[in-house]
Amino acid sequence: METENNNIYGVLAEFRNPKELVDAATSVKKSGYKDFDTYAPFPIHGMEKAMGIKESPLGWIVLGGALTGLIGAVTLMVWVMGYEYPMNISGKPFINIPIYVPIGFELTVLLAAGATVFGMLFLNKLPRLNNPLFGVDRFEKATDDGFFVCIEASDDLFAEEKVTKLFRDSGATHIETVYDSE
């Protein structure tokens, strides 16, 4: 397939087993690459450490959504019931905290769930309707019994020959250059 270098998506390498994949990810990280990912049919213990993945900020995003829901709900109810439209209902106080609990809880959960969904989509750079790796025939094994590492061309250190040599030295069974069809 004749394409120009600027259409290269990355270099994909296949490994025999999870240990080789973890070792390859460790060597890729030690080589200074940042734009790479690993693919396996199941979670592999120690992969996050091997890839140098930091803890996800999603928890903070969810907390922000939850606090926004709670504070927004209570603020709106106190303002409406206590100041803007006070109504004397059965002699109860205008600012009656116990009646705010159900609505505050519901809005806390609603905004936390929304923050979870949209935060996850944002952090995972989704939706991406096509990934060039899906065009690689061997990559179908990633859902069954294949273990892959892909270093993307967007990495500052990317050079096809260097990446190929790194994978070869790491014991890859198959190395393939992946081209972006866009």
Which among 172, 157, 136 has a CA at the least distance from the CA of 13? 172
Segment 72-101, tens digit of pLDDT = 999 999 999 889 988 888 888 888 888 899
Three-class SS state of 174: strand
Rounded average pLDDT over 54-60: 96
Average pLDDT for 53-81: 96
Given 1.10.3470, 2.60.40, 3.30.70, 1.10.10, which CATH number is that of 5-55+132-179? 3.30.70
Quote the percentage of the chain above a pLDDT of 70. Answer: 96
pLDDT of residue 91: 85
CB 39 within 8 A of CB 146: yes
Contacts of 85 by beta carbon, 8 Å cutoff, 6+ apart: none
Contacts of 176 (CB under 8 A, 6+ apart): 11, 12, 13, 136, 138
- Residue 151 is predicted with a pLDDT of 97
The model's pLDDT over 100-144, given as tens digits with 9 standing for 90+, comes to 999 999 999 999 999 999 999 999 989 988 899 999 999 999 999
Q: Which residues contact 55 (CB under 8 A, 6 or more apart)?
A: none
The reported pLDDT for the residue numbered 182 is 62
User: What's residue 97's pLDDT?
Assistant: 87
Locate the domains of the chain by residue range.
Answer: 5-55+132-179, 58-123
CA angle 156, 157, 163 (to 5 degrees): 135
Confidence of residue 2 (pLDDT cuts 50, 70, 90): very low
Which H or E element spans position 148? strand 147-152
Retrieve residue 38's tokens.
């690993």
In the prediction, which pLDDT does 3 show? 45
Supply the pLDDT for residue 36: 97
